[in-house]
Amino acid sequence: MPERASSYAAEVDWAFNFVFWISVFFFALIVILTVVFAIKYRRRPGVEADNSITHNTKLEVFWSVVPLGLVIVIFWFGFSGFVDMRTFPKDAMVVKVHAKMWSWSFEYPNGVESTTLHVPLGQKVKLRMDSSDVLHSFWVPAFRVKQDVVPGRYTYLWFEAIKTGTFRVLCTEYCGTGHSTMLSAVEVQSPEAFKAWMAEESSGKNLSPVERGKKVFSLKGCAGCHTVTKDRKKLVGPGLYGIFGHEVTLAGGKKVLADENYLRESILDPNAKVVNGFPPIMSLIPLKDKELDGVIEYLKSLKD
């Protein structure tokens, strides 16, 4: 089991272990008895089958009532845990979670946005989740929470972190080519560290265009499909390192120069010119003028 970092974890693990060991016990019991009886009562020459026993009421009541009791206990643990998870505390901090192919972003009550989820230790947090394309599923193994994120509606989740540290966030609903890279993290910080982080994030309004662009690039999910490293590794889309000022071969063989207008068009009207060898699956991601400008400056800065 992954480490336990939320108030649910101990109870979930207890229920899991309970069911697991009951299953192991009955599996062993049934397999052993099957083998023993198969050997002991096998057909042998000279031994007649004895059909005098038809049933045994005491034994039958026993093996019905005991499992019934066990499944009632299992139901009780499952149901009370479920009720806890679906009863949302009124005093929780609400964070909006935006899922899209293939990235996560998080939006806090004061409007700050981030690509990793920051939460203070010991504070109840409620997530309101939406997807702009297909079904995703938000999963934090260390918190023992998992919730589908469904296009066209909001879904919710709440938890309270009990341990500081960085814990993995995964998408656990197959959502296309980039599914396996749809990763993020939860940073559980002490309340002071969380406050300091929040203050720094919300004061960062005077970013240079390149810095702003870099932020937009990860917040808007561009990084889920494009690398920006020197090796120009392909993800779902082409690597964007060094793209500015270079020639791009389009589907059909035509070559164009990647100038500012090409970059602008590639972002505002993604399928107007499709890069050779790539599927036309980049969707339009709405950007404000300043964000678009930042992204273009950022792409221009990706060079030696």
Query: What are the residues binding ligand HEC (CB under 6 A)?
Result: 101, 220-222, 224-226, 236-238, 240, 243, 248, 258, 263, 266-267, 270-271, 274-275, 278-282, 285, 295
Considering the complex, state which of residue 119 and residue 282 has its C-beta at the smaller distance from ligand HEC.
282
Q: Which does 285 bind (CB under 5 to 8 A by kind): Cu ion, ligand HEC, none?
A: ligand HEC
Within 8 A by CB and 6+ apart from 128, the residues are 94, 95, 96, 97, 154, 155, 156
- Give min distance, CB of 7 to Cu ion, in A: 26
Considering the complex, state which of residue 176 and residue 245 has its C-beta at the smaller distance from Cu ion.
176
On whether the CB atoms of residues 265 and 273 are closer than 8 A, the answer is yes
Considering the complex, state which of residue 129 and residue 275 has its C-beta at the smaller distance from ligand HEC.
275
- Give min distance, CB of 108 to Cu ion, in A: 22
- Helix 9-40 and helix 57-86, axial crossing angle in degrees, nearest 10: 160
Of the listed pieces 5-13, 119-127, 172-180, 185-193, which binds Cu ion according to CB under 5 A? Answer: 172-180
Work out whether 170 is an interface residue with Cu ion (CB under 5 A).
no
Kindly write down the DSSP assignment for every residue of 267-286, as one continuous string: HHSTTSSPBTTS-S-PPP--
Q: Which long-range contacts (CB under 8 A, 24 or more apart) does 104-112 make?
A: 104/138, 104/169, 104/171, 104/182, 104/184, 105/219, 105/220, 105/221, 108/198, 110/198, 110/202, 111/202, 112/198, 112/201, 112/202
- Give min distance, CB of 223 to ligand HEC, in A: 8
Specify the length of the chain in residues: 304
Considering the complex, state which of residue 9 and residue 140 has its C-beta at the smaller distance from Cu ion.
140
Measured between alpha carbons, how far is 128 from 125 in angstroms, rounded to an integer? 10
Q: Which does 64 bind (CB under 5 to 8 A by kind): Cu ion, ligand HEC, none?
A: none
- Give min distance, CB of 179 to Cu ion, in A: 5
Considering the complex, state which of residue 13 and residue 293 has its C-beta at the smaller distance from ligand HEC.
293
Which stretches of the chain bind Cu ion, using CB under 5 A? 136, 171, 175, 182
